[in-house]
């Protein structure tokens, strides 16, 4: 199993540009999440999904959209990038509600200029 994969590893955007961060998992996990990691702030939940077709907002959802058309994929879309979205983004998945162990991808480092 490849586990949780994320692309790209690095990305530089200009303010106002849009892009999609890709996340995929091959473990048939029901639950997937997106976090951002900022210095001195730990990880903060952006959006999450409890299954295909079901998504919900986390702690910091503004400026981001998600969709979950398949169990495997959970892309994160930045609609109009802002410098405040400069961060490291992590995708995570977990098997089920009672597993509670999340598997994280390697991250995408995004810089918005």
Partner 1 sequence: AQSVAQPEDQVNVAEGNPLTVKCTYSVSGNPYLFWYVQYPNRGLQFLLKYITGDNLVKGSYGFEAEFNKSQTSFHLKKPSALVSDSALYFCAVNPQRSFQKLVFGTGTRLLVSP
**In the complex with partner 1, which residue's Cβ is closer, 16 or 38?**
38
19 binds partner 1, rule: CB under 8 A: no
Cis peptide before 45 (omega within 30 of 0): no
Residues 49 and 58 sit within 8 Å (Cβ to Cβ): no
Please identify which residue in 43, 65, 67, 86 interacts with partner 1, judged by CB under 8 A. 43
Please identify which residue in 41, 53, 83, 111 interacts with partner 1, judged by CB under 8 A. 41
Residues that contact partner 1, how many (by CB under 8 A): 25
Residue 96 and residue 106: Cα distance in Å, rounded? Answer: 21
């Amino acid at each position: 199993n490849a586990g949780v994969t994320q692309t790209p590893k690095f990305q530089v955007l200009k303010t106002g540009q849009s892009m999609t961060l890709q996340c995929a998992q091959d473990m048939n996990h029901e639950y997937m999440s997106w976090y951002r990691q900022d210095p001195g702030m730990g990880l903060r939940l952006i959006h999450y999904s409890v299954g295909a077709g079901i998504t919900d907002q986390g702690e910091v959802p503004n400026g981001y959209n998600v969709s979950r058309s398949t169990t495997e994929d959970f892309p994160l879309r930045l609609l109009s990038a802002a410098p405040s979205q400069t961060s490291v983004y992590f995708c995570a998945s977990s098997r089920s509600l009672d597993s509670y162990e999340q598997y994280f991808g390697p991250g995408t480092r995004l810089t918005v200029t």
